[in-house]
A and B are shown apart, each in its own frame.
Chain A
């Protein structure tokens, strides 16, 4: 993408700026639409109407919220550790935003075509843990601290099944580059990894059930990593006020919210890249059949965003379906169920891919 814009404009600064700004705009749009959709979906599921006063269908609700947040006084408690307190939201947001550097939106819209993209995404999103612990600790508040501790325990635990499933995909595809993994699932939807990958033969059909299991495990564990219901005990409203960001307000609080929605899209993107063909269309390209080359990247971006939003919607759907897990249930789900299944899955996929 950098090269593309460099060729287009011939200016290194402009090209860098465009490449850097695009994911930021995406995160902002995701947060803007995500908050609105969250409210609408929750309302529809509960047979309510949802926001409908601000603009047509309440579309400007998030804008109104944002303006309110900007105007808020930055009230802080007296005994906070102000250095850590101020760094924490930035760090959390950086962690979730940095992951976008390696996510391919389409064959032309890739921040970095790094060979170790998948590894980088998993590593950099762990930065969030540090930020959350900082926020909880520096707030000097029992709810914040409890929330932060729970969050750290949860994220670190659930990174294991995620990593194992990612490993099984890496074993199958033989690359860590997100772009290459996407490109292996090109053309039609039966080439997607969840349907056994692009290679045709007996192994494809043998792989399907294990890929489905892998998808379920990685979906559950990424859901837990972004602290969404039913794994939202770090910010459990009914017991911990707001968890690790109880003491935050105004724009610092907005940074946490922004990173939450940014994370939601990032994990949805990772899941769709690993199992659902990334930016590739399930039904072929209009650009190919019409013979219009330049249309293809836009179509790819459309399919990528569509898949990402689909998973975000499923996350919301789950949020308004399931009640919150208890701490011990959370840990037993991860250590007693997800990790053993993931390991068995890894071994079986390894054996099949050797065939």
Chain B
């Protein structure tokens, strides 16, 4: 019988204790962060979308080779003498036209391995992480600053240049023969 009343009291008392706790929580401000409007500060070394500063890129292809999933695609064309490509911000001379610099973020695993080998520190992580797309092809980011026509032009220039050089070389090697020819 004593146990019975004890149970009754315990039942009522514990419910009241619980109600007191929930009542307190009714007035505590929400801990929710309303994401699109309010954003938390990201940690200092967060790894998000890559960015390539093409002014500094020398087209060395080291990032592409470091990439474990081969998501970076680089094509370069050698410059010909007389073309001034400028210098990078840390004083390196650029010698290659970067005609193609594509990063496929659908493949990218955000490992940051491409960032470390870069000699000019031109590829780095940004704080942008909201770039979802409906089409997978839209995730291929093209960083090359040269337009397609320009790239073609550079290619043709280089081919012309190499052809000229070949011709000169051929001419240089052929000259002695030519000199011999009339003699014979």
Binding site for B on A (CB under 8 A): 41, 43-49, 52, 216, 317-318, 320-322, 333, 337, 341
Contacts and interface: CB of A to CB of B under 8 A. Distances in A.
Interface stretch (B19-27, B93-101, B129-137, B144-152): B19-27
Contacts of B34: 49, 52
B82 interface: no
B173 interface: no
Interface in B2-43: 7-8, 11-12, 15, 18-19, 21-23, 25-32, 34
Q: Is the interface of B mostly helix, strand, loop or mixed?
A: helix
Interface of B: 7-8, 11-12, 15, 18-19, 21-23, 25-32, 34
B28 A317 contact: no
B18 A321 contact: yes
A46 B25 contact: yes
Contact of A216 (B12, B21, B23, B30): B12
Given A216-B12, A337-B8, A47 B25 contact: yes
Nearest to A216: B12
Contacts, number: 43
Contacts of A46: 25
Given A47-B31, A49-B34, A322 B15 contact: yes
Most buried by A among B7, B22, B34: B22
Given A44-B25, A45-B25, 12 more contacts: A41-B26, A44-B30, A45-B22, A45-B26, A47-B28, A47-B31, A216-B12, A317-B23, A321-B15, A321-B22, A337-B7, A337-B8
Nearest to B33: A49
B11 A49 contact: no
A43 B31 CA distance: 11
A320 B23 CA distance: 10
Given A47-B28, A48-B32, A49-B32, A337 B22 contact: no
B147 to A, nearest CB: 43
B26 A44 contact: yes
Nearest to B16: A321
A43 B30 contact: yes
Contacts of B11: 333, 337
A222 B21 CA distance: 24
Given A49-B30, A337-B8, A318 B25 contact: no
A9 to B, nearest CB: 45
Contact of A321 (B19, B28, B31): B19
Contact of A317 (B7, B22, B29, B32): B22
A48 B30 contact: yes
A52 B35 CA distance: 13
- 9 closest cross-chain pairs (CB), A and B: A321-B22, A321-B18, A49-B32, A49-B30, A45-B22, A44-B26, A47-B31, A45-B25, A321-B19
A341 B34 CA distance: 49
A353 B29 CA distance: 49
A283 B11 CA distance: 34
Nearest to A318: B19
A19 to B, nearest CB: 38
Contacts of B7: 337
17 contacts: A44-B25, A44-B26, A44-B27, A45-B22, A45-B25, A47-B28, A47-B29, A47-B31, A47-B32, A49-B32, A49-B34, A216-B12, A318-B19, A321-B18, A321-B22, A322-B18, A337-B7
Nearest to A323: B18
B19 A317 contact: yes
Contact of B30 (A47, A318, A322): A47
Nearest to A41: B26
